[in-house]
Amino acid sequence: MQATEGADGAEKFMMLRVLIAALAMTASACSGLIDEFPTTPDPVITTETFTGTVNVNGSATHSVFTGATGSVVATLTSLGENPPSKVGFSMGTLGITGICNIVLRKDDAVVNTALTGTLNNLQGSLCVSVYDTGALAGSTDYTFTVSHP
């Protein structure tokens, strides 16, 4: 915007104030729009419980399907009425051939042992296993939970 040659200082100042006010209103309108952009919500954490029996020299594997990235925690919550001194406990990714590719393992797991990992893919198939490491004298019932996004 240009002032005419005949405009005095007061008119130029008034025009400048109008221009600044218009720019300020435009800038404030833009900042309000930024607040309206959608945000990614925190994933809902699901806790699943798995039970079964592991035999001497055996193992039992369960599949877990996730829908988002984030922390995954598998916790061994029970080893029956007469718990063995230890069992194996592992967590990994489930391959397309159905094979569990172990990522985390603890060969001397006891009740309350937890395995914690981070899932970096948007969704995935995980596997959690309980297995004998030579300490079982007979079949042992187990329970574990898996918390995941």
pLDDT band per the 50, 70, 90 thresholds, residue 68: confident
Mean pLDDT along residues 34-43: 64
What pLDDT score was predicted for residue 1? 42
Cut 0.85: pTM above it: no
Decide: 55 and 130 in contact? Cβ < 8 Å.
no
Distances (CA, A) of 72 to 9, 34, 45, 75, 81: 69, 33, 9, 10, 27
What is the fold, at CATH topology level, of the domain defined by 46-148? Jelly Rolls (2.60.120)
Domain coordinates of the chain in residue numbers? 1-39, 46-148
CB 43 within 8 A of CB 98: no
